[in-house]
Structure 1
């Protein structure tokens, strides 16, 4: 949604307001106002016309313009009913120079997780990839993954789901008395840059939102399963707003991650490319390394698959 259309929509939300008044306020022609009104109607906004002018009576349930309306964060949204992979599309946009764009889809038909693992992404979920150009050295980019996990967890908690984070990028429900918990969301971050400069970062976030649990892999859960149907528009807005708060201060994102962690204090096994690390997870160090207390001393793990173990 461009700036003029957004401004027209904001004026109609205060309506009823005559079209000529909107045109004068925004410095555009009356015909331009009419075209924007028709464009908004085409996007699903319920705009009534009367002798008093235009008035916004209803907003779409979901979609790009719906998420952008009332969003208190500087993102534009490209929405798809279905797309192969939001991360793939986000990388295309990044290569074209895009910034602060969210690729959002109702369904992904070719989605993937870490290490190219299959990821179920049926209709009703929140499948979003953020195109970013952060002023960060490449070594600090993992903090954005943690920020996304915090933002997702906080949006889930606002919806009534007691979510927690398993290092580094899984959002879980029901970790107490359950070593792994049920997976609610996952995050996949991709980056392009040079040794001292980031060109772009794509943060992919997948949330099992309004999906029946029978349509999900074993061990997964959804917002719908936990608390019933949620307003995905509001959920995405809260997630993006929280992420926007955190991305400018990566160290605060790491601290917020600690406070929402399901991993710290757990006995863990982390599979790395060069072998496994087993011990107690005692901290997460900036920009996102897991600190594990092993029999041989403390080890910092920068990447790997983490499994929560039963206490010895």
Structure 2
């Protein structure tokens, strides 16, 4: 473990003196001082006291702040601004990196599924995790589901009741939403709620294994609804005030690690996804490359296929754009 991360871990428990940490790690006191200055340079305001170095009571949203006390095996690379955290994560992956979360305060060229524009101003939680799971490429969609579950759980931690629309849209609220018409916002049914967050996963692999996986998550955190699309919302709007983005990002990463790093990940991820999904039991229409599939969503199967009962029998959809429909008696 490097001196910087060891210092962060030590500060999570109590004040720590430079000599004590130097002796524990087998490094010089100058190396400990350098690590302290590195943390301060990142915005993690370590204090010097007679008892030793002390962590800030309210850590900033920065690399060290997110890593501080985190129960996940990830390091963080933080940027004030990036065109895309996924693009930067792919660069790191091509250089051999693993278990690195790229975080930006804002994205200037963010994108969602199907290359849709994703509004990502300062105040959101925009992160992309580079990981190298030992799975074949066919099982990569499981990690997209795990990221959606982790995001919902982080929302719950800040008292925002969110749910998942297949496969990875994180929403708040029920069927009603709004869209823009004639310059104004008008009500329209059927979308499944107001969009709070989304997941975009990219990978490179061979026939039998994933070389690297980048899981990108974008969450409308401390944003005013006025800067978002008409059918979107934010944690600020739903919680009635700003949330601690540092802790939110850490919780998301911790929950993702708990799901993705276990031997029984498939069963655990699918069970957790089902518990948090609003799609199952609903009438849906999924636009696929070969046409629309309409019916009742009854299950999700590994590695993320939506099972739909249609008038022509049961179909399994592996990819597509899902829309929640009104039930016939609604």
Q: Deviations over 1:114-159 (max 9, x none)?
A: 1111111111000011111111111111111100000001110111
RMSD of equivalent CA atoms: 1.5
Question: How far, CA to CA, are the matches of 1:31 and 1:9 in structure 2?
Answer: 16
Question: How far, CA to CA, are the matches of 1:262 and 1:51 in structure 2?
Answer: 54
Question: How far, CA to CA, are the matches of 2:15 and 2:148 in structure 1?
Answer: 41
| 1:282 pairs with one of 273, 293, 298 | 298
Give the TM-score normalised by the residue count of structure 1: 0.95
Whether contact under 8 Å (2:221, 2:245) holds in the other structure is yes
2:246 is matched with: 233
Question: How far, CA to CA, are the matches of 2:56 and 2:131 in structure 1?
Answer: 34
Aligned residues: 311
1:292 is matched with: 308
Q: Which moved more, 1:44-53 or 1:246-255?
A: 44-53
Q: Kindly report which structure 2 residues correspond to 1:36-115, keeping only aligned pairs within 5 A, or say none.
A: 36-115=35-114
1:211 is matched with: 223
Whether contact under 8 Å (2:61, 2:245) holds in the other structure is yes
Q: Deviations over 1:181-222 (max 9, x none)?
A: 000000011111122111111111000000101010110000
2:319 is matched with: 303
Whether contact under 8 Å (1:46, 1:58) holds in the other structure is no
Question: How far, CA to CA, are the matches of 1:309 and 1:21 in structure 2?
Answer: 62
2:186 is matched with: none
Question: How far, CA to CA, are the matches of 2:68 and 2:268 in structure 1?
Answer: 28
Per-residue deviation, 1:32? 1.4
In structure 2, the gaps of 5 or more residues are 177-188
In structure 1, the gaps of 5 or more residues are none
Question: How far, CA to CA, are the matches of 1:38 and 1:66 in structure 2?
Answer: 14
SS at match of 1:46: coil
Q: Deviations over 1:6-62 (max 9, x none)?
A: 222333455544422222222111211221222222222333334443333445320
Question: How far, CA to CA, are the matches of 1:132 and 1:45 in structure 2?
Answer: 25
Question: How far, CA to CA, are the matches of 1:277 and 1:49 in structure 2?
Answer: 63
1:179 is matched with: 190
Whether contact under 8 Å (1:43, 1:60) holds in the other structure is no
1:246 aligns with 2:276: no
Given the superposition, is the C-alpha separation of residues 80 and 57 from structure 1 closer, same or farther in structure 2, using an over 3 Å criterion? Answer: closer
Given the superposition, is the C-alpha separation of residues 16 and 277 from structure 1 closer, same or farther in structure 2, using an over 3 Å criterion? Answer: closer
Give the TM-score normalised by the residue count of structure 2: 0.90
